[in-house]
């Protein structure tokens, strides 16, 4: 009777159009085992076919494998054909530039996309090799393409891959936003429903992007680092990703002394063998960087994530067991934002604005106010930050920074690393360390501190239960401070579109943002406290108390 289960026929239909030998073999085995009565295989088929990876403003992202709920050549082909149809609906002669990183199948997915785009009548331009995501975002604008597609899962686990979409022309190479995501999703669903991907027209008459595109990105990014900048001893890690070649070329173009790269993590490696999770923010991810930095006496550590759109920094700290302290995403954002604000004010840039996401620290607003600049809070994601009018700098606490908006309209870990190095080098020339810059920030703008609490679940319904409890029975006191206001953003707030998030404002100016993660099965709390510089000890106590109260609340709800 098992052979009659509809999920087996669904899997067979998928198998009939799968061009990939690896996923075909994987799926064929599952089908045979399920048909023979294996409940384990049947459950696995349900996990792969009961749902479909949804295409949204973050594109596609998921684990590599056979099935509609996995990343594979069938799903990517459906996405490519759907995007092509959308572009042809809106433009007579559309074009798309396609990039890819060093993850498993990234090059395969990219070539499939190029062939399907060309077959559909879209001018397709494929990157010549694996390159950082920001180079793709740059290329969309540089080549005046209609759109861009980047095959990457950024800092996700090693077995994942993904698919990001950018818009060109008036959108300037920013990531897609509604309603475009919905329109593309509808086209992808149509292809999946009505077409066999093996029958879709393909063509090898696509173009290869010239090296001059990469050269132009390198030139524009090198301009962030002044010639003759103060030399510093720097350790760099690409985290087994694609950042090293481009980062090194930028420094060479700027005439800056070579930095020391972590050799074990320098070249792309889809297995990510030295890290359990290829994200610079994860515990242990920078251990090799710390060891090399101690060996060479580095003054600065710069880390990119695998597709180099994010950047993290660590600085010497004698109080730390590693001898270095990794700055938080907010701390890096404060310093880069402060630097951008000073330059914008000194250059008299009209209508200049700073921006950050709603879950990032309120400190950037204080910087903007001090320098008479505009300030905007956006929803999470650089698709929103990049669209702020007059933007000179934007960031999100998850180590994403937009420092060169006239060149790249997305977070860019290469240009952010170069900009931070330029800022640190100038401070060194003046006898100031990065740690002293942070002290100066507190003296100028007050004390700000942030923390995060993630509640990871295996049962996704618990996330909904937590949000429901927070909405109906919200804490009235956190960290010993009364909650003065709770804003539910599900219907929007001010200029913010609707989103599934809550904002708790406390009487002392502290704030808690709560939202489900967009990429992982967890609920995230973002805690921010602020105080005058001389009351920092009290603020730290409040921060710890808020975290403790939220941990207790979450444990009670999730059991």
User: Catalytic residues, which ones?
Assistant: 154
Q: How far apart are CA 196 and CA 191, in angstroms?
A: 8
500: tokens are 């599934």
Strands 511-516 and 502-506 come out as: antiparallel
The gap from C-alpha 276 to its chain's centroid, in whole angstroms, comes to: 18
Q: How far apart are CA 186 and CA 248, in angstroms?
A: 42
DSSP 92: S
Q: Tell me which residue of 390, 413, 416, 391 sits closest to 403, measured CA to CA.
A: 416
Burial of 212 (0-12, 13-18, 19+ CB in 10 A): exposed
499: tokens are 């989103």
Peptide bond into 310 cis (omega under 30): no
**DSSP, residue by residue, 133-166:** HHHHHHHHHHTT-SEEEEE--TTS-TTEEEEEEE
Peptide bond into 190 cis (omega under 30): no
Residues pairing with 394 in the sheet: 355, 402
Q: How far apart are CA 13 and CA 74, in angstroms?
A: 11
Q: How far apart are CA 408 and CA 387, in angstroms?
A: 12
Please report where in the chains the tokens 């951008």 appear, as a residue. 340
430 torsion bin: left (phi>0), alpha (psi -120 to 50), beta (else): alpha
DSSP H or E run through 530: strand 522-531
Q: At a CB cut-off of 8 Å and minimum separation 6, what does 346 contact?
A: none
Strands 502-506 and 95-100 come out as: unpaired
């Amino acid at each position: 009777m098992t052979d009659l289960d509809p999920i087996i026929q669904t899997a067979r239909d998928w198998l009939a159009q799968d061009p990939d030998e690896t996923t075909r073999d994987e799926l064929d085995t599952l089908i045979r085992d399920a048909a023979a009565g294996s409940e384990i295989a049947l459950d696995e088929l349900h996990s792969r076919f009961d749902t479909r990876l949804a295409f949204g403003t973050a594109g596609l992202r998921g684990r590599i494998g056979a099935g509609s709920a996995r990343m594979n050549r069938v799903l990517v082909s459906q996405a490519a054909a759907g995007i092509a149809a959308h572009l042809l609906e809106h433009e007579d002669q559309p074009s798309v530039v396609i990039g890819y990183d060093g993850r498993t199948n990234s090059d395969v997915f990219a070539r499939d996309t190029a062939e399907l785009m060309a077959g559909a009548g879209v001018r397709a331009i494929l990157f010549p090799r694996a390159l950082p995501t920001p180079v793709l975002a740059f290329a969309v604008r540089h080549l005046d393409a209609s759109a861009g597609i980047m095959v990457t899962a950024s800092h996700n686990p090693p077995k994942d891959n993904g698919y990001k979409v950018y818009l060109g022309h008036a959108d300037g190479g920013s990531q897609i936003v509604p309603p475009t995501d919905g329109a593309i999703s509808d086209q992808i669903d149509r292809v999946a429903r009505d077409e066999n991907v093996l029958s879709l027209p393909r063509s090898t008459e696509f173009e290869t992007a010239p090296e001059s595109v990469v050269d132009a990105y390198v030139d524009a990014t090198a301009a962030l680092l002044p010639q003759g900048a103060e030399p510093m001893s720097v350790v760099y890690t690409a985290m087994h990703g694609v950042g090293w070649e481009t980062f090194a070329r930028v420094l060479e173009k700027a005439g800056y002394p070579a930095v020391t790269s972590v050799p074990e993590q320098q070249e792309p490696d889809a297995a990510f063998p030295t890290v359990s999770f290829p994200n610079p923010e994860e515990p242990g991810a920078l251990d090799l960087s710390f060891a090399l930095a101690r060996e060479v006496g580095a003054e600065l550590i710069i880390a990119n994530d695998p597709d180099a759109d994010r950047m993290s920094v660590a600085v010497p700290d004698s109080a730390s067991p590693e001898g270095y302290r990794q700055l938080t995403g907010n701390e890096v954002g404060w310093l880069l934002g402060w630097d951008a604000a000073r330059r914008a004010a000194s250059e008299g840039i009209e209508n200049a604005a700073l921006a950050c996401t709603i879950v990032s620290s309120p400190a950037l607003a204080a910087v903007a106010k001090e320098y008479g600049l505009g300030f905007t809070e956006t929803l999470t994601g650089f698709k929103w930050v990049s669209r702020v009018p007059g933007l000179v700098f934007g960031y999100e606490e998850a180590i994403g920074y937009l420092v060169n908006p006239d060149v790249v309209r997305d977070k860019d870990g290469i240009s952010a690393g170069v900009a931070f190095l330029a800022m640190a080098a100038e401070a060194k020339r003046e006898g100031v360390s990065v740690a002293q810059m942070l002290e100066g920030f507190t003296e100028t703008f007050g004390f700000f501190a942030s923390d995060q609490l993630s509640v990871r679940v295996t049962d996704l319904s618990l996330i909904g239960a937590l949000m429901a409890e927070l909405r109906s029975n919200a804490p009235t006191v956190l960290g010993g401070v009364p909650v003065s206001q709770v804003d539910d953003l599900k219907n929007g707030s001010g200029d913010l579109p609707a989103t599934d998030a809550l904002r708790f404002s406390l009487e002392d100016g502290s704030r808690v943002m709560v939202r489900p993660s967009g990429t992982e099965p967890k609920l995230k709390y973002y805690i921010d406290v602020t105080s005058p510089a001389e009351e920092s000890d009290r603020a730290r106590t409040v921060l710890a108390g808020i975290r403790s109260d939220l941990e207790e609340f979450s444990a009670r709800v999730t059991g």
